[in-house]
Structure 1
């Protein structure tokens, strides 16, 4: 669980896992944005 500056808790690992499993349905823009975060599977 990650805590943002405003105190909100997010499950970053769950988000990344779900996003990776759905990558075939992501737009090129979204994949490019994720690739800038150095996510190898988004490149």
Structure 2
């Protein structure tokens, strides 16, 4: 589990590559609900 600097908790799923840039990104699942995204969204 990872805690964002704004006190938002996330579950890290893994490291992925952007399909066009090949840049490494962190894939995580939000463990909180917000107006923009529902809880448990990847």
Taking structure 2 as the reference length, the TM-score comes to 0.39
Per residue, is there more strand in 1 or in 2? Answer: 2
Per residue, is there more helix in 1 or in 2? Answer: 1
- Higher relative contact order by CA 8 Å / sep ≥ 6: 1 or 2? 2
Taking structure 1 as the reference length, the TM-score comes to 0.39
